[in-house]
Amino acid sequence: MEDLVWTVEGLRPKVEAFLNPVLDAAGLDLDYEVYAVERVDEAIGPEIGVDFTGEDAELLSRRRSELLLALEQLTLEALRVPRQDRYRLMFDVNDHRMLRIDELCLSAKAAAGQVKQTGRRFEFRPMTSRERRIIHLALRDETEVRTVSEGTPPQRYTVVEPLKP
């Protein structure tokens, strides 16, 4: 497959070519929009979003967004998106995942503040690689703390720890 062009115009036809038959076959009443994501910090979060609406949109957010994530994963596989670029495309419904990015950034900053104040490491609960990446990026410019991922999937988690003991 040719290289992907990371613009709405470049991805929309490919996403549509895959998603439309899948949604029709599944009998889901969903519409979606492919759009460019505007972020304050370009390094954190996706470049292209796919936002779902429609009568069955609520189904996508049930059980920790299992169906939404499955559709995203299948689409990434069908488009042959390399692993290092998978964060660039994100499926969402009712801004749930975009709000989660903001929440993770705030939590990362709060954890860094706590670590600086107490000198003790802070462990986040297990999360996906995409969520761990957001924590790492949110704190990449911190000079007094560092982040590391520990554990094995699916129990892999991020730790914020002081640079100096």
38: confidence class by pLDDT, cuts 50, 70, 90: confident
pLDDT band, very low/low/confident/very high, at 150 (cuts 50, 70, 90): very high
CA distance 90 to 50: 6
For residue 64, name the pLDDT band (cuts at 50, 70, 90): confident
pLDDT value at 132 more than 70:
yes
User: What are the tokens at 101?
Assistant: 């990015």
Q: Report the predicted TM-score, pTM, of the whole model to 2 decimal places.
A: 0.85
User: What is the arithmetic mean of pLDDT over 109-115?
Assistant: 98
Checking if the pLDDT of 1 tops 60, the result is no
- Does pLDDT of 39 surpass 80? no
The closest of 151, 153, 157 to 122, measured between CA atoms, is 157
State the pLDDT confidence band at 165, using cuts at 50, 70 and 90. Answer: low
* C-alpha 88, offset from chain centre: 8
Once rounded to an integer, what is the mean pLDDT over residues 72-83? Answer: 96
Cβ–Cβ under 8 Å, residues 2 and 13 = no
d(C-alpha 11, C-alpha 102), whole Å: 25
Q: Which range has the worst mean pLDDT, 11-25, 36-50, 89-103?
A: 36-50
Q: Which positions ≥6 away from 44 have C-beta within 8 Å?
A: 101, 105, 134, 137, 138
Mean pLDDT, the chain, whole residue set: 93
